[in-house]
Structure 1
Amino acid sequence: MMENKNLLEKLNVLIVEARFYEKYSNGLLAGARSVLDKVGVSYDILTTPGALEIPGVISSAAQGRVFYDGYIALGCVIRGQTYHFNLVAKESFRGLIDLTIAQNLAIGNGIITVYDETQAHDRTSSINNKGAFAARAMLDVIALKRTLGVS
């Protein structure tokens, strides 16, 4: 879908990046930025302490003064020895899905949920970068919405 550049002209998107695992969020951000820069999309970046805060920030931004055509959520959740991992992963994803449906937002989900730092590294490297995947997914959804006549 990204091939149809006419559907992606003059886009402005917001990247919301959780900084809890900074070295991995840096990789996710680099991947997302590379996709957006290649297509010529303008973007702003906001940071949050962790993944749980991302849906709330996106919701606030969607109601703010600046119009964004889409949003990219970036973060890393690594399983620890407690149930906290499950809560953060489930609730951050649920929050993004709720926003997508309730507010009709185009959101690329680049929050990775992994068992260890090796998996985090693999998903934030240039070859398999989930930040880049999230950016492409968001652009595809925006193009689909425009094809359907939905803004």
Structure 2
Amino acid sequence: MPRETAPHILIVEARFYDDMADALLEGATAALQEAGATYDVVTVPGALEVPAAIAMALDAAEEGGTEYNGFVALGMVIRGETYHFDIVANESSRALMDLAVSESLAIGNGILTVENDEQAWARARRSDKDKGGFAARAALTMIKLRERLNGG
């Protein structure tokens, strides 16, 4: 049975790099609008906080808050001179995967891990690789898959 209402998505964006965050968000919202999905946006300081925000949204839904059909995680992690890049890149990805698997969530992971600004912009811009849009479309695809597997 097909969905009777548009999917409602929570976009969680890390704003550590504001201009790049704007580009990722533009791509994600354009893809969701094109698909007829509705969405809310919340902002967190950095990529490590994105999974926690999704977990908070799940807890809030259990207490009567907004229920989301899927999630889009957006952020940019650019390699610097310290080990911090590896921690942020690995742990944010691991935490998103843990949530997706343990809670059967439809999450589009648009937390990008890159070596430099040039790579970051090439992936963030809608006119180039549009990874924000890709993450949104991935979330929508996973929502459809979950519905199909659930007999919907």
TM over 0.5: yes
Which residue of the partner structure matches residue 129 of structure 1? Answer: 130
1:105 corresponds in structure 2 to 105
Offset of residue 63 of structure 1: 1.7
Partners of 1:8 and 1:63 lie apart in 2 by 25
- Work out whether 1:22 is the aligned partner of 2:23: no
State the one-letter code of the partner of 1:144.
L
Measure, in 2, the Cα distance between the counterparts of 1:96 and 1:15. 13
Name the structure 2 match of 1:138. Answer: 139
Instruction: State the secondary structure of the residue aligned to 1:82.
Output: coil
C-alpha distance 113-10 of structure 1, shift in aligned 2 (>3 A): same
Q: CA deviation at 1:97?
A: 0.2
Corresponding residue for 2:46?
Answer: 50
Q: Quick one: which amino acid aligns to residue 116 of structure 2?
A: D
- Structure 1 residues 150 and 45 mapped into 2: Cα distance closer, same or farther (>3 Å)? farther
1:148 corresponds to: 149
8 Å Cα contact 1:8-1:142 kept in structure 2: no
Which blocks of at least 5 consecutive residues in structure 1 are unaligned? 1-5
For the pair 1:95 / 2:102, whether they are aligned, the reply is no
Percent identity of the aligned residues?
47
Residues in 2 aligned to 1:59 and 1:8: alpha-carbon distance in whole angstroms: 26
Post-superposition shift, 1:8? 8.0
| Mapped contact 1:8–1:143 kept (Cα < 8 A) | no
How much does 1:92 deviate?
0.2
1:93-122 deviation line (CA, Å, top 9, x unaligned): 000000001111110000000000000010
Give the partner amino acid of 2:142: V
1:9 Cα deviation from its structure 2 partner: 3.8
CA, structure 1 residues 89+39, in 2 after alignment: closer, same or farther (shift >3 Å)?
A: same
> Residues 148 and 24 from structure 1, CA distance in 2 versus in 1: closer, same or farther, beyond 3 angstroms?
same
Classify the secondary structure of the residue corresponding to 1:63: helix
Q: 1:23 corresponds to which letter in structure 2?
A: D
Q: Does 1:34 align with 2:30?
A: yes
Q: Tell me how far apart the structure 2 counterparts of residues 146 and 104 of structure 1 sit (CA, whole Å).
A: 11
Structure 2: gaps spanning 5 or more residues: none
> Residue 46 and residue 150 in structure 1: after superposition, are their counterparts in 2 closer, same or farther (change >3 A)?
farther
